[in-house]
């Protein structure tokens, strides 16, 4: 490993290496009103919500894609003293690097294990246009600020 020392402090060598490969990029995460309502009903604390958002921001494509939803993903998170298997399920939508991750819903495993077929169909209908609606909203906002 190459090193270098400043002339004023020869006893302080500096190790030269690239630090940036160790810095991960966090993705933008949006907590939808439905998600926030579900989180409140489950009694999630601000720290628990923040932990979920941080995890998803680091790995936006985490979880398993749910069939028949148009791209929604389900991610397991540990509940208080329950572990992942008895904890929470978070439903997200990630459409790519230029679009935020949307937190759509959260439920406890004790409440239900999965979404109903009607809920999956509704998600498929909504998610089909969510990314386009978001992009158009951003474009309109930027143009209105000029």
Nearest 5 degrees, angle CA 26-CA 132-CA 68?
A: 85
**Residue 72: domain span:** 24-113
* Higher per-residue confidence, 114 vs 68: 68
Q: What is the average pLDDT across 6-26?
A: 59
134 membership: H or E segment, kind and range: helix 117-144
Residue 82 domain-assigned (yes or no): yes
Q: Count the Cβ atoms, other than its own, within 10 Å of residue 143.
A: 8
Residue 75 domain-assigned (yes or no): yes
Residue 12 domain-assigned (yes or no): no
Residue 35 domain-assigned (yes or no): yes
Residue 55 domain-assigned (yes or no): yes
Q: What per-residue string of b and e applies to 14-26 under the rule 16 or more CB within 10 Å gives b?
A: eeeeeeeeeeeee
CATH number at residue 108: 3.30.2310.20
**Alpha helix (H) residue ranges in 32-116:** 33-42, 46-58
Residue 28 domain-assigned (yes or no): yes
Q: What is the average pLDDT across 26-36?
A: 91
8 A C-beta contact, residue 16 and residue 4? yes
Q: What is the average pLDDT across 56-85?
A: 84
**What is the count of structural domains for the chain?**
1
> In sequence order, what are the beta bridge partners of 106?
90
In tens, the pLDDT along 96-128 reads 888 899 999 999 877 776 788 898 899 899 888
Which three-class secondary structure state does DSSP give residue 13? strand
């Amino acid at each position: 490993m190459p090193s270098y020392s400043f002339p004023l402090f020869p006893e302080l060598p500096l190790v030269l290496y690239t630090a940036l490969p160790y810095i991960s990029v966090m993705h933008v995460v949006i907590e939808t009103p439905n998600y926030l309502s579900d989180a409140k009903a489950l009694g999630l604390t601000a720290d628990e919500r923040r932990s979920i958002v941080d995890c998803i921001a680091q790995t936006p494509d985490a979880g398993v894609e749910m069939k028949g939803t148009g791209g929604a993903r389900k991610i397991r998170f540990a509940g208080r003293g329950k572990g992942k298997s008895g904890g929470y399920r978070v439903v997200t939508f990630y459409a790519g690097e230029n679009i935020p991750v949307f937190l759509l819903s959260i439920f406890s495993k004790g409440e239900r294990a999965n979404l109903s077929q009607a809920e999956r169909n509704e998600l498929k209908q909504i998610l089909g246009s969510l990314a386009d609606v978001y992009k158009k909203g951003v474009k309109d906002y930027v143009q209105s600020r000029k």
